Amino acid sequence: MLLQLLPCQQKALASLLAAVNANFPLVELRSAPGRGHGITTLLRRLLAEMPKGGSFFGVGDTLGCDHPEDALFQKAIQHLQPGAVVVIDDLDIATRPEKVRASRNAGENFQGAGQWAFEDATQPLRCLKALKDAAEKCGATVVFSTVEEGHVRYMHIPQIVRLDAAQKEDVEAFLSILVPDIDASNLLQRMPSVPTVAEMKSVVLKSSCHADGAINIPDLIAAARDRQSIDAAVSPEEVESVDLAGLPGLKDIANKLETHVLYPLLHQEQAQKQGLLPKRGVLLYGPPGTGKTTVGRALAHRLKGRFFMIRELLLFKDIFEVFEQAKSVAPSVVFFDDIDMLIGGWNGLAGGARSLDLIRFLLSQMDGLKTTAESQVVVVMAAADAKALPKAILRSGRIELWLKLEKPKPRERKTILSKYISEAQQAVAHDQPELLRSPLDLDEVSTACADFVPSDLRRIVADARCASAADGSKRCGCEYLKDAASDLRRMKEEVEGWTGGMYT
pLDDT in tens, the chain (504 residues): 446 788 888 999 999 999 999 999 999 999 876 667 889 989 999 999 988 878 999 999 999 898 999 999 999 999 999 989 999 999 988 988 765 554 444 444 433 333 344 456 788 888 999 999 999 999 999 999 988 776 666 677 789 999 987 777 777 777 777 666 666 666 666 555 556 666 666 666 666 555 555 555 566 666 555 555 455 567 666 677 777 777 778 889 989 999 999 998 888 878 888 888 888 899 999 999 898 988 888 888 888 778 888 876 565 667 777 887 788 777 889 999 888 887 764 444 444 455 777 788 888 877 765 555 445 789 999 998 888 888 888 888 788 899 999 999 999 999 999 999 988 888 887 878 888 888 888 999 999 999 999 999 999 999 999 999 999 999 999 999 999 999 999 998 888 766 555 544
Q: Are residue 149 and residue 19 in the same domain, yes or no?
A: yes
To which H or E segment does residue 21 belong? helix 7-21
To which H or E segment does residue 122 belong? none
* Residue 342 and residue 358 in contact, taking contact as beta carbons nearer than 8 Å: yes
Q: What is the CATH number of the domain that holds 288?
A: 3.40.50.300
| Structural domains of the chain, count | 4
Q: Are residue 393 and residue 246 in the same domain, yes or no?
A: yes
* Residue 376 and residue 276 in contact, taking contact as beta carbons nearer than 8 Å: no
**What residue type is 241 in one-letter code?**
S
Q: Which residues contact 466 (CB under 8 A, 6 or more apart)?
A: none
Q: Are residue 41 and residue 137 in the same domain, yes or no?
A: yes
Rg (CA), the chain: 29
Question: Does 13 fall in a domain?
Answer: yes
Q: Which residues contact 434 (CB under 8 A, 6 or more apart)?
A: 425, 428, 477
Q: Which residues contact 259 (CB under 8 A, 6 or more apart)?
A: none
DSSP 258: I
Distance between CA atoms of residues 256 and 291, nearest Å: 15
Neighbours of 243 (CB within 10 A): 11
Q: What is the spatial order of strands in the sheet that 401-404 belongs to? A: 307-310, 332-336, 377-383, 281-285, 401-404
Domain end marker among 163, 191, 216: 163
**What residue type is 242 in one-letter code?**
V
SS (H, E, C) 435-486: CCCCCCCHHHHHHHCCCCCHHHHHHHHHHHHHHHHHHCCCCCHHHHHHHHHH
* Residue 383 and residue 285 in contact, taking contact as beta carbons nearer than 8 Å: yes
Question: Does 1 fall in a domain?
Answer: no
Q: Which residues contact 203 (CB under 8 A, 6 or more apart)?
A: 195, 220, 223, 224, 227
Distance between CA atoms of residues 20 and 286, nearest Å: 63
Q: What is the CATH number of the domain that holds 443?
A: 1.10.8.60
Q: Are residue 260 and residue 376 in the same domain, yes or no?
A: yes
**What residue type is 206 in one-letter code?**
K
Strand partners, 309: 335
Domain end marker among 145, 163, 181: 163
DSSP 7: H
Q: Are residue 240 and residue 371 in the same domain, yes or no?
A: yes
DSSP 311: -
Q: What integer pLDDT is reported at residue 107 of this predicted model?
A: 40
CA–centroid distance for 163 within its chain:
24
Question: Does 330 fall in a domain?
Answer: yes
Neighbours of 59 (CB within 10 A): 17
Q: Which residues contact 223 (CB under 8 A, 6 or more apart)?
A: 202, 203, 204, 206, 207
Longest dimension (CA), the chain: 95
Question: Does 324 fall in a domain?
Answer: yes
Q: Are residue 36 and residue 96 in the same domain, yes or no?
A: yes
Q: Which residues contact 257 (CB under 8 A, 6 or more apart)?
A: 244, 282, 295, 299, 403
Instruction: Find the domain containing 75 and state its range.
Output: 7-163
Cis ω on the peptide bond leading into residue 236 (within 30° of 0)?
A: no
Q: Are residue 139 and residue 273 in the same domain, yes or no?
A: no
Q: Are residue 254 and residue 384 in the same domain, yes or no?
A: yes
CA–centroid distance for 441 within its chain:
46
Question: Does 503 fall in a domain?
Answer: no
Q: Are residue 97 and residue 144 in the same domain, yes or no?
A: yes
**Buried b or exposed e, range 332-370, using 16+ CB within 10 angstroms:** bbbbbbbbbbbbbbeeeeebeeebebbbebbeebbeebe
Q: Are residue 249 and residue 337 in the same domain, yes or no?
A: yes
Question: Does 502 fall in a domain?
Answer: no
Distance between CA atoms of residues 29 and 35, nearest Å: 13
Distance between CA atoms of residues 418 and 461, nearest Å: 9
Q: Are residue 258 and residue 343 in the same domain, yes or no?
A: yes
Question: Does 504 fall in a domain?
Answer: no
Question: Does 107 fall in a domain?
Answer: yes
Closest C-alpha to 264, from 377, 170, 383 = 377
CA 88-89-93 angle, to 5 degrees, is: 110
Domain end marker among 202, 227, 252: 227
Q: Are residue 326 and residue 428 in the same domain, yes or no?
A: no
